[in-house]
Amino acid sequence: RRPSVPALSAPQLPVRRVVPMAARQARVKAWFRDTENLKNFGRMVGGVSFFSLALLSMKRIAPGHVGLIEDRTGNLRPYVYDDGQLVIAIPIWQRCINIRLIPVKKRFIKEYKTKDGKDVEVRLLCRLQPKVHWVPEIYLKFGKDYGRGFLEKEASVDIAEVVQRHTLQELVRGPEEAVDAIAEEISTRICDACTFHKLKIA
């Protein structure tokens, strides 16, 4: 007679209770009806919002820059912040602007009309640096990229006035001394404009 083999029984898995969606919603509604629960929930939301706002408000000025704080209406705080300094700027309403102090190398190329109506291309290469105490005024006039703004708004006007007084022949094929004198006049006028707008040029 063959010996009987014991039957193997499968392990009994725990039965997971399925809660209907309607029951969950009823529990949530009941939880929110409790006044103490609402107070705790409000404290949690308020605390998280406060600390998130505090972290987002802290801005550090980049090395080699100075900082300005500007609000949404375009007004600036009457302070200039040093590099590495930690400042407070309210998110959404204010923003921190880093203005570079290291001399910025700018290349400016533009075509102008000569006295005889011809087109001549002028190329200018210079380094610009703001004077620290006048950074707010420089930013309001020329923007964050003050070098490009100055060349387009001020230097371009001076170059155009000089070029319009000479013909293409005088500017391109004239005597070397005359061409150098024209270039020197442009350089002098741009330097005077830099001095007026509190910029250093090299």
**What confidence tier does 4 reach under pLDDT thresholds 50, 70, 90?**
low
Q: Is residue 202 pLDDT above 80, yes or no?
A: no
Q: Per mean pLDDT, which range of 30-34, 96-100, 114-118, 154-158 is the poorest?
A: 30-34
* Dihedral, 113, 116, 119, 120 alpha carbons, nearest 10: -90
Q: What is the mean pLDDT of residues 10-19?
A: 54
Amino acid occupying residue 198: K
Q: Which comes out higher in pLDDT, residue 36 or 11?
A: 36
0.85 exceeded by pTM: no
DSSP percent split of the chain into helix, strand, coil, nearest 5: 45, 25, 30
**What confidence tier does 14 reach under pLDDT thresholds 50, 70, 90?**
low
Residue with tokens 């409000």: 42
- Main-chain phi, psi angles of 144, to 5 degrees: -65, -45
β-sheet bridge partners, residue 94? 71
Which residue, among 67, 69, 107, 61, has the nearest Cα to 86 in the 3D structure? Answer: 61
Q: How far apart are CA 123 and CA 82, in angstroms?
A: 34
- The pLDDT value recorded for residue 11 is 56
Q: How far apart are CA 151 and CA 85, in angstroms?
A: 30
Asked if residues 147 and 104 have their Cβ atoms less than 8 Å apart, the reply is: yes
- Main-chain phi, psi angles of 148, to 5 degrees: -65, -40
Q: What is the mean pLDDT of residues 40-51?
A: 85
* Strands of the 119-130 sheet, one edge to the other: 104-113, 119-130, 199-201
Tokens for 121, please give them: 């291309």
Residue with tokens 């998280």: 48
